[in-house]
Amino acid sequence: MTLTTTTALDTSLALDTSRALAATAGHAPGIEPRLAVDRPLDLAAERERGTYGLPTCPDVIAELEAAGLRGRGGAGFPAHIKWRGVAEADGLRVVVANGEEGEPSSYKDRWLLTYRPHLVLDGLLLAARTVGADRAVVYLSHPETETAVRAAIAELDSAAPATPAAGVRLDVHVVEPTYVAGDETAVCRSISGGPALPTARPPRVGEKGVDGLPTLVSNVETLAHAAWIARNGAAAYRDHGTAESPGTTLVTLSGACGRPGVYEVPYGLTVAELFEIAGGFTSRPAGFLMGGWFGGLLGPAHAETVCTYEDVRAAGSGLGCGAITALHADQDPLAVAAEVSAWYAAESAQQCGVCVKGTASIRDAFASLDAGTATAKDRDNLARWGQTLPGRGACAFLDGAATWARTVLTEFPEHIGADGTANADDSGN
C-alpha cells in the first residue's frame, strides 16, 4: 500500500511554514507565557526556568485532574483519565510524545518541538515516571523537529549520570508525515514496526499499544503543560482560561491575518480577539476553518465565537488542535470546500472502504456545487453524509470530511440554492 504524502502545502490554504518557523511565537497581552519563548531554549536555559525540576505536588495525576488539562492533539480528552488508565495497567508500559502534526493548518507542535524540546522531554519523562513506564518515545515527522529533539537528548545524555532520563529508554521515532500517522493507533503500530496506519478500536492503546503493551500516547503540547502543572500546580494553571477550559493553549493563526503564526493564548477569547493579537484581519473574513481542517467551515459571524472547547462545539465545530484559518474576503466558501474535500479524498489512507467511498463522494458533491452543476440530490447527500459518516472509519479522518459536508450546508445556506445548485449571485466569486 502506498501512502499519500500530505498535499496540504500545495493548496491555497497553506500556512507559510517558512515564515512561521522563522517567527517567534507570540502571546496574548497580559499573560505570563508558559510555553511561548523568543528563541530556542537549550538545557541550561530550560533548567534556569525550572524544567526537569521535581514536581511540587504529591500526586501528579490528581494535579492534572484538578487543573482540568485536556489533550492538545485535537480530541481534547481529559489527560488525567489517559494517564491513570496506563498507570493502573499491569506489567511493562510505554509513553509516547506525539509530535506528528498531521493537521495541515497547524504549526504549533513543530514550533514547540523546535523551540522547547526539553520541556516536551520533561513532560514525557514525567509521564514515564508517573505511569511507571521504562520506555519513552518521541514520535515525529518533520526534519527540523527531529534535529531539535535529537540535540536535546544528546544534551541530556551529556548531563549523565544526573540525567533526568535515568532509568528510562528514550527513543526518537520518525515517520513520513500524513494526516492519519498522528492517530494514536497508527502511532503505536508504527513504533511497533508496522505501517503508520490506524487500527480498529477496541482495544485502545492504553490497553494494548506499542508491542502490545499499555501505552500512553500524548500530544507534545499536552506533555509540556503537564510538566508546567507538576511544578506550578493546578491552581496556578487555572489563573488563565475559563472554568470549563482552563489554562493557556498554543494556537496557529493563518489566512487573512496580519502576522500568521503560533501564539500562546488563554482560553476564553473570541476568534476576533485572537486575530487581533496576530495583527488583526487583513480583510473582512469570509469564514473560518476552525480547529484546523478537521472542524469544518464556520461562517463570518463566528468572529465573535468564544474559543473554549464548549463554545466552539456548540457552534457546530471543534477547537481541535487550536488552528484557525480566516478566509480572505474574496475566497468563495464553496471553492474552499471543493479544495479541502479533494484533499481529504487524496489523503485518505485507503484502508476503510467507507472512507474511500465517503471522502470521494463528498469531494464529487462539492466539486459539482463549486462548478454550478450540482442538483438537489448532491445537497441532500451532503446533508446525510454529514450526519451518518462520523464514527464509521477506523480513525477520525472520515469524520473531518463529514464535518465539512455538515458545516458548509448549515453555515452557508445562502450559497446553495433550493435545487442544490450554487446561487447565481455567488457563482462569480
Partner 1 sequence: MKATVDSTKCNGYGTCADEAPTVFQLDEWGYAGVIGDGTVTDKDAACRAAEGCPERAITLHD
User: DSSP characters for 115-161?
Assistant: H-HHHHHHHHHHHHHHHT-SEEEEEE--HHHHHHHHHHHHHHHHTTT
CB of 380 to partner 1, least distance (A): 12
Q: Which of residues 49, 204, 208, 392 is near partner 1 by CB under 8 A?
A: 392
354 vs 376, beta carbon nearer partner 1: 354
106 vs 359, beta carbon nearer partner 1: 359
Q: Considering only 28-36, 196-204, 262-270, 337-345, which stretch makes contact with partner 1 by CB under 8 A? A: 196-204
The H-assigned helical ranges of 23-116 are 43-48, 60-67, 79-87, 108-115
Q: Which of residues 4, 163, 199, 283 is near partner 1 by CB under 8 A?
A: 199
CB of 4 to partner 1, least distance (A): 17
**Grid coordinates given for 14:** 497553506
What DSSP character marks residue 251? E
> CA 9: distance to chain centroid?
16
Q: Which of residues 145, 308, 351, 407 is near partner 1 by CB under 8 A?
A: 351
Q: Which of residues 41, 89, 230, 355 is near partner 1 by CB under 8 A?
A: 355
> CA 236: distance to chain centroid?
24
CB of 188 to partner 1, least distance (A): 15
CB of 95 to partner 1, least distance (A): 26
Q: Terminus-to-terminus CA distance in the chain, angstroms?
A: 39
Helix axes 397-411, 376-388, angle to 10 degrees: 130
167 binds partner 1 (CB under 8 A): no
Residues 345, 396: contact at Cβ < 8 Å? no
400 binds partner 1 (CB under 8 A): no
**Residue 422: which of 373, 377, 380 has the closest Cα?**
373
Which are the contacts of 143, defined by CB distance < 8 A and separation ≥ 6? none
Binders of partner 1 in range 42-101 (CB under 8 A): none
194 binds partner 1 (CB under 8 A): no
Q: Which of residues 167, 353, 376, 413 is near partner 1 by CB under 8 A?
A: 353
> Distance between CA atoms of 179 and 101, rounded to whole angstroms?
8
Q: Total residues contacting partner 1 (rule CB under 8 A)?
A: 17
387 binds partner 1 (CB under 8 A): no
180 vs 303, beta carbon nearer partner 1: 180
**Grid coordinates given for 54:** 521535581
306 vs 352, beta carbon nearer partner 1: 352
Q: Which of residues 205, 323, 338, 352 is near partner 1 by CB under 8 A?
A: 352
Q: Which of residues 171, 354, 376, 419 is near partner 1 by CB under 8 A?
A: 354
- Neighbouring C-beta atoms of residue 207, cutoff 10 Å: 15
> Distance between CA atoms of 114 and 145, rounded to whole angstroms?
5
CA–CA distances in Å: residue 396 to residues 36, 67, 390:
29, 27, 7
CB of 357 to partner 1, least distance (A): 4
**Residue 365: which of 376, 349, 352 has the closest Cα?**
376
315 binds partner 1 (CB under 8 A): no
357 binds partner 1 (CB under 8 A): yes
> Distance between CA atoms of 130 and 411, rounded to whole angstroms?
44
Binders of partner 1 in range 136-165 (CB under 8 A): none
131 vs 349, beta carbon nearer partner 1: 349
Site residues (vs partner 1, CB under 8 A): 197-202, 351-355, 357-358, 388, 392-394
